[in-house]
Every structure is written in C-alpha cells, then in structure tokens.
Structure 1
C-alpha cells in the first residue's frame, strides 16, 4: 500500500507567532470571536500551510489546501460582503509567491505581511477598517520587526553580533521614544509602554550578553512566550 504523503507544515515558531498573535490581539480588542472570524482564521491557516506545500512542490496538497482556504473565505464575501478582504488576500498572495530567503529585507517584508492578520481580523470582527485597524497593524509590526532583529543578532556569528547590536539598540531606543511621545501626547495610555517593556528589556539584556553560548531551542520558545505576553498586554492597552 502506498503511503499518502503528509502536507508540509511550517516549522518556524516565529512565523506562526507573527501570523496568530496579531490575529488574536485584534479579536481581543474587538471582544469578539464568531463565525466570521472563525472562517477567516480557517482560511488563513489553510493558505499558510498551502504555501509550505507549494514550496515543497506538493502540488496535490497545495491545490487541496488552497481550495479549502477559498471555501472558508467565500461566505465572508457572499454573505457578509467583507470586500476589503480581497485586498488583504491579494497582498498575501503576492508575498506568498516570493521565495523564502534569509536576506534581511525579504524577512522584514514577510513580517509586515504576516501581521496584516491584525487589521484583517479587526475588519472581519467589526466591519470597520479604521484607525484601530492601522494601530493594530503598526504595533504588531513594530514588535515583530524588533523580534526579528533581535533573533538575527543572537543567531549571527559572534564576530558579527557586535555590529548588529547597534542596529538592535537603535531600533528599540527609537521605538521606546515613539511610544513614549504618543503616551505623553495622551494618544494612548501608559499601558502601551508596558506592552513593549518586556521586549525592550530582553533586547537590552541580550546585547549585554552577546558572548554567551546560544541555545537555539531556548531562544525559539522564549520568543513564543514573549510574543504571547506582548499580545495580552497590547489588548489590555488598546481596549
């Protein structure tokens, strides 16, 4: 009997976090999880796994998963008339067609694309594409861009880490000043500072111990934990 090949599933913890944490923050701020958002989540997951199958040239699984993604998304257009999701889908398709590369610019582009799940989920839950959708995208994007820079610094050869540390320090210093300025202007409450505090503290501590041995599994799972913590704190800050 011929064994049926299983579909390829993305193994990167960070990428799953970039996909799901922004989605969760949007639903948390909206205070809603219903059939619409469940269908969007299903469509998003099917599409994400389909890309992994496509990269592995598993054409049958790719076609099946894309069909499942479309089937889950159709009611969002036909029943609820959420037509702006077409734009989100188009951006996702363009980014998914790009080859997977380790170049920093490509990774930054992928990060910005993955966190579009935040405004997409907000729009689906509330029917609005407004300032909150933008802020959800921006804050999630800035957090995960910072996480990407930090991980690249930690994974780099020891001789290259010293140069990357200034990029990491500069990014988080600029991020902290930007958030502080908005808090001081009463655009957001001080809770937004608390949402970014763990990531800023981690980055500062990481820069101070660049010569320490790297434990990749610990780094990966700590990123997951920090991402979930950020999501919870961001919801508390924006609700």
Structure 2
C-alpha cells in the first residue's frame, strides 16, 4: 500500500502561494492554521481522484486514500466554516474548475494550457478564502487578489513550458515573453500602477534568460521557487500599503 502524494512541484506552489497571499494581506488568526492544513490535505486528496479518472475506473486503494484525505481535510475546515459560513460558497465555486480538470484527466490532455488555466483559477480561490478568514470581509480586494494570482501563475506556466515541453518551439517562447510584458501593463490600464511591481521579477526572468538555454527540470523548479517567493513578498507589500 503506497501513500499517495502529489509530485508536481508547480501544483504545490499553486495551492500554497495563494493561501500565503491571503494570509499575508488579510492578517493571521488561529483558524487559518486549520484551514491551511485542510487545504493541503484537500489538494492531496485530489491526486487519487485524478488518477482514477485517468485510468477510467474506480480503484479501491485510490478510493481509500481519497476518502481519508478528504475526510480529514473536512475536519480541519469544519471550525473555520462554522466561524465563517461564507467559506461554503467559496468552496463550492471551486467545484466547476475541478470538474473541468477531471475532464482533461479523463481525455489524457492534462498538459493543455487550458487545463492549467482552470486549475490555477480554482486553486487561486484558496487565497480568497484565507483573506476572508483573516478579515471576515468580502469586498473588491478579493477579486483583485484572485486575478493577480491567475495572471502570475499563467506566466509561470508559459515560462516553464517554454523550457521543457515547448523547448524547441521559438514562437511559443516569444509568446511567453509577450505575455510577461502584457501583465506588466495590465495594472497600469486599470489605474493600479503599483501592482505592476508584483510581476517585475517574472518579466525580468522571462526576458533575461536566453531563448536557447536548456534547463533541467530541477533548475527550472528552483528558479520558479525563488520567483514565487519574490511574488509573495512584493504582492503582500503592495496590497497592504497601497491597495487596502
């Protein structure tokens, strides 16, 4: 019997970074500890579910692990939900995105950029939930927080694909570079210029690294970890000092 643990480093970042942003911007309390553990367990529980959809059959061992992870995750989320009932609607809003990801798993096309987009969109809601637990408020900031997460991680997807799966696709690499310029301009277009700072490290990374460089997956992973750290620190600073 093997313990089921997700191996995709990018997936871990896409669930942890939004939560850290919500916590850092909204403030910390005890309920966020419970919610964070519940979030991690829930994310792990999705792995056996995706595996069963890839195999197109129900597996007893995978069902067992999924039930354990989801069951314990629910227990950790129970007290935050009792304290903040609005979390129920936020959790339900993740389901459509998960269903789309399950569809991509079923047709074995999980490397699609669209699959990444829907996965990122769903997991970014976790940041909204962490913010709500910290403030008890639901306002315009949550939409901006969600959108900032989605813009950042889509840039990460394009960058990583350009050096691994699309390493020989130069038009794709130039599209990745163009995207990183566009996300710098978006905050200016909506009159939130300071928010551009959140995307500066990503843009520098995209344009400074030569197109013909060949990275090993672990090297690309380290670069993304450093970039994610900078994104979290800068974004929390910008939101707390200029947007709240």
Shorter chain as denominator, the TM-score bin is 0.7 to 0.9
Q: Contact 1:85–1:120 (CA<8 Å) still a contact in 2?
A: yes
- The CA distance in 1 between the partners of 2:80 and 2:165, in whole Å, is 43
Report how far residue 109 of structure 1 moved. 0.8
Report how far residue 23 of structure 1 moved. 0.7
- The CA distance in 1 between the partners of 2:40 and 2:166, in whole Å, is 34
SS at match of 2:213: coil
Q: 1:167 aligns with which of 172, 175, 182?
A: 175
Report how far residue 167 of structure 1 moved. 1.8
Change (3 A) 1:210 1:156: farther
Q: 2:19 aligns with which of 3, 19, 23?
A: 23
Report how far residue 212 of structure 1 moved. 1.9
- The CA distance in 1 between the partners of 2:63 and 2:19, in whole Å, is 28
Query: Is structure 2 residue 38 aligned with structure 1 residue 43?
Result: yes
Counterpart for residue 107 of structure 1: 116
- The CA distance in 1 between the partners of 2:235 and 2:156, in whole Å, is 15
Query: Is structure 2 residue 83 aligned with structure 1 residue 87?
Result: no
Q: Contact 1:13–1:221 (CA<8 Å) still a contact in 2?
A: no
**CA distances 1:59-89 after superposition (whole Å, capped 9, x unpaired):** 21111111111111222233x1x22222222
SS at match of 1:211: coil
Query: Is structure 2 residue 198 aligned with structure 1 residue 199?
Result: no
Report how far residue 211 of structure 1 moved. 1.7
Report how far residue 95 of structure 1 moved. 3.3
Query: Is structure 2 residue 217 aligned with structure 1 residue 221?
Result: no
Q: Contact 2:185–2:196 (CA<8 Å) still a contact in 1?
A: no
Work out which structure has the larger RCO, using CA pairs closer than 8 Å and 6 or more positions apart in sequence.
1
Change (3 A) 1:89 1:214: same
Q: Contact 1:19–1:114 (CA<8 Å) still a contact in 2?
A: yes
Structure 2 unaligned residues grouped into runs of 5+: 52-58
CA root-mean-square deviation: 1.8
- The CA distance in 2 between the partners of 1:221 and 1:168, in whole Å, is 19
Count of residues in correspondence between the two structures: 224
Report how far residue 151 of structure 1 moved. 0.9
Q: Contact 2:188–2:196 (CA<8 Å) still a contact in 1?
A: yes
**CA distances 1:75-125 after superposition (whole Å, capped 9, x unpaired):** 2233x1x22222222233443341441111111111111111111111111
Counterpart for residue 8 of structure 1: 4
Counterpart for residue 120 of structure 1: 129
Q: Give me the TM-score of the superposition, normalised by structure 1.
A: 0.86
Report how far residue 157 of structure 1 moved. 4.5
